[in-house]
A and B are shown apart, each in its own frame.
Chain A
């Protein structure tokens, strides 16, 4: 088991967002995607962001990762302002986007190669991650030989191989069928509890958001803003029985009302 790398963390949050606004220019005038967002994420905290499609949650994630610039406001990751894409980030998208011409192992090693990290330790971490994700027998297979869920697990390994301080996930299980999705939730929790990274996960499934997170950021759309940030006081480790806990249903209901779902 990997010992966490010692970092001078102090009391600073891992992610700090202050008055974040994002506006796009369009033919019909400026579109405000995000309005005056403010929140913070502590180290090794698992935070989910939930909201309707179009509420800007993916935009928010891309701004935090540095892929997209903010229009105004402050975004700090580990105390540093985010200006360009961050390499200290592991990112998982809705599609696994593995390189189909590489084996699973070579895919997981991609960040090590691109960032010119030492190959030996990198390969060791890759093997450990693949073992953790239950993919070690498939390491010489090509992505096309794996199911969607397995490919996404490989994508998660790839996101962790360079030992980033931050894990950003944009609807990572959205393309999977419901059963695989549920399995993957617990897979993710298992992998996460082995090496606790500060994690920000975007989802449109309220029950997924509650199951995985320490806190849930609830967003409303048009314009995209934070409606509320709710604590999830369920004990860890989260197990399938957690869903039977009355607090789980309460949390899901409360979030549903916040989003404005009519049947909650």
Chain B
């Protein structure tokens, strides 16, 4: 059904362009976009790879740091009071505004893009992971105390598995944010990547190039999201039984 509606939209777009003689620099026809993509595919492939690399690196770092921070926030009141306010403050500053600064500090290469992706993506991961680690039914914690579980068993057998659904839902959000972070970095000062291509296309009024880059970006986002969803199925095989209840309309 989705494929049919997408094809229908593309077909309608093509017809409208032809019907109203819309100039190519304003809105290119799907056919023109396709030609551009195919004829210069090495360019798009290379830059897609650059953005993909930055995004994935930033995302993985965000996940690792986010989970780590969440655990120490939950288990250490001292650290919680020290760093949680700072994390929130960092979140309030718009990353777009930080981007130029990061460029000065980290240079025009890969690092600044990865850092930006990391900074945007890690907050929802921390917040969700903390919630997941503490949103446990009291009776379950009572049971752990009665069974003399100790903090380690309580963590590995109860808190961590409980946090997984929260973690994965934040990873889905974070994957899209990481893409945004990488692209912003490329906008503000890059020499490679799909964001960089979009800037170039803008200055040249090459709308076709913009469109191809946009399509590549979307595909990239889908890919990352799809990987997270696949990982979710692997790490949480029991979830498919949960959703059966959720769909009692």
CB-based contact B148/A115 at 8 Å: yes
The residues of A that contact B242 with a CB separation of less than 8 Å are 100, 144
Main secondary structure of the interface of B (DSSP, over half): helix
Question: Of A93, A97, A102, A114, which is within 8 A of B153 by CB?
Answer: A114
Q: Which one of A84-92, A213-221, A234-242 is at the B interface?
A: A84-92
Q: For residues 45 through 91 of chain A, which have their beta carbon under 8 Å from a beta carbon of chain B?
A: 62, 65-67, 85-87, 89, 91
The interface size bin for chain B is: 20 to 34
1/0 per residue, CB under 8 A from A, across B142-177: the answer is 111111110001000110011010000000000000
Question: Of B139, B143, B149, B238, which is within 8 A of A144 by CB?
Answer: B238
B11 at the binding interface (Cβ < 8 Å): no
Question: Of A91, A113, A144, which is within 8 A of B241 by CB?
Answer: A144
CB-based contact A110/B157 at 8 Å: yes
B236 at the binding interface (Cβ < 8 Å): yes
The residues of B that contact A94 with a CB separation of less than 8 Å are 139
CB nearest to A90 among chain B residues: B146
CB-based contact B145/A99 at 8 Å: no
A181 at the binding interface (Cβ < 8 Å): no
Least CB distance, B236 to chain A, in whole angstroms: 7
CB-based contact A97/B139 at 8 Å: yes
B244 at the binding interface (Cβ < 8 Å): yes
CB nearest to A115 among chain B residues: B147
The residues of A that contact B148 with a CB separation of less than 8 Å are 85, 87, 114-115
The residues of A that contact B142 with a CB separation of less than 8 Å are 62, 67, 85, 91, 93
CB-based contact A113/B146 at 8 Å: no
A192 at the binding interface (Cβ < 8 Å): no
**Complex A-B: 26 CB contacts under 8 Å:** A66-B146, A67-B145, A67-B146, A85-B148, A91-B142, A93-B142, A94-B139, A95-B137, A95-B139, A97-B137, A97-B139, A99-B140, A99-B157, A101-B164, A101-B238, A110-B147, A113-B153, A113-B157, A114-B147, A114-B149, A114-B153, A115-B148, A142-B238, A142-B241, A144-B241, A145-B241
A residues touching B (Cβ–Cβ < 8 Å)?
62, 65-67, 85-87, 89, 91, 93-95, 97, 99-102, 110-111, 113-115, 142, 144-145, 162
